[in-house]
Structure 1
């Protein structure tokens, strides 16, 4: 299943940042960068710990853009986490706890992998957050490809000028064919993210708005967090395997 045809309608808005109000359940370390079983087990651990805690879940605001995910405290606006889109390796709307959105990212301090989980008020909100992250990655990929094309054009222009002046032999390394200087590290980062989500086309009410948090009226009444082992909800699982940078990339969600 592909991203909705009209997802590009929100591309400009997405670059400014899409905002969601959710509750932070917590974080646990994981041993793999991606995988459905790994994510489900991690979410179970987080949910179990969160339920056992006497503390109220922290209300946070997620701002999602092609740069990554910014998490701030909803009440104080204090910055909690700023995750680069290139550090995110997995994203999911959990099939068991269908109101839970989670992502796996590499710690900015070391090589450890962290799974962060968030409680949304509705299943469709969790799906919308997951889809928004997928869209953010697609935009980031497009911007990266445009930047590479611009660099390639500049290199060709430089080589042309040098050749016309008889300076080909002394031209700088920027005149070497761009393919030989392709930033492999960035390419690998762009190819790495893998998204798994129980997705359906989000309803208009679940769509995020430009720089305006989605407001929920019943947060303090019901957290909507069911027993992590009791849900038998049947949902459709979809995995997104991202292609390496290439002209007109095909972004496909495969069942």
Structure 2
């Protein structure tokens, strides 16, 4: 049987944390990564723009290269565009949500931190997750507008993470004495080591990557694919497409994640090849 094809979509490089989890759980998969970095970050865009771009870009990608599962590796896009996308395509779609339920199961002192984007911490959908799964917990929300930009610049090799600024961002979690933190943006697992160094007292760091990977595997198995134990050659990510410029140094960063790409293309769908 051919290896399964999976399309992973985000507005920036954050979805690579999810792609890495998928490659670990489904090593036989061939991944296409599409980043709408021309409109990054989606949290700053009107919802109508997010919906229209998600649907249009994913349909274009599927027309060029069919996929067996589409993964929306962006909390904002998952919240506002998932329903519209499922109506627009005939491919199973998996979205991401803040991992409130597993965090509540892990927390001992019932004090949980949520590190997310400003858009995510404001959404009523989050209030529903907390009411359903963590009503007995105190939840400290931190939504910082610059953190995703710091991570994007760090991935490009343009600057180090600003340690003192990051310390200030995380201070509310120290003050609240949380023992568990939910990483409510797919960018944040990329800097987990830096976050853990800042808050060594936090016992549990929770994100949605592994759950998304398991759900993707379940959908593939339901479609007749076997789990498979061999990697798809030397390149779990076979194509990485960016609607803007290809981020500097992204090939080396992918390799560091174990996600070596056969092809990088910018200004997609014009398919300007990276040098």
TM-score band (shorter)?
under 0.3
Q: Using structure 1 for the length normalisation, give the TM-score.
A: 0.26
Higher strand share: 1
Task: From the CA coordinates, give the structure whose radius of gyration is larger.
Answer: 1
